[in-house]
Amino acid sequence: MATKSLAQMRPKERGKITKVGGSGHTHRRILDMGVVPSTEVTVERVAPLGDPIEIKIKGYHLSLRKEEAVQIYVEMIER
């Protein structure tokens, strides 16, 4: 099973979160917003240079900074 960080994903790719790394306030906020292991995410859009990256999770859209996205690991879901 292919594991990547969210920052390595391309638009329309889907995955299941396996790990959310990081620490401090932003990390905590990300967890509070539902970015937690075993949740499915779809990458919607990626800005030039990969920052920010827009994902869809639990039915809503969320923008993440690249520095946050590199710490979120996903198992790719084949289409």
Give Dmax (Cα) for the chain.
35
User: Least Å distance between CB 62 and other proteins?
Assistant: 9
The full length of the chain comes to 79
Q: Which of 11, 29, 37, 67 binds other proteins (CB under 8 A)?
A: 29
Which range in 1-9, 10-18, 29-37, 47-55 contacts other proteins by CB under 8 A? 29-37
User: Least Å distance between CB 28 and other proteins?
Assistant: 5
Strands 3-5 and 72-77, bridge-based pairing: antiparallel
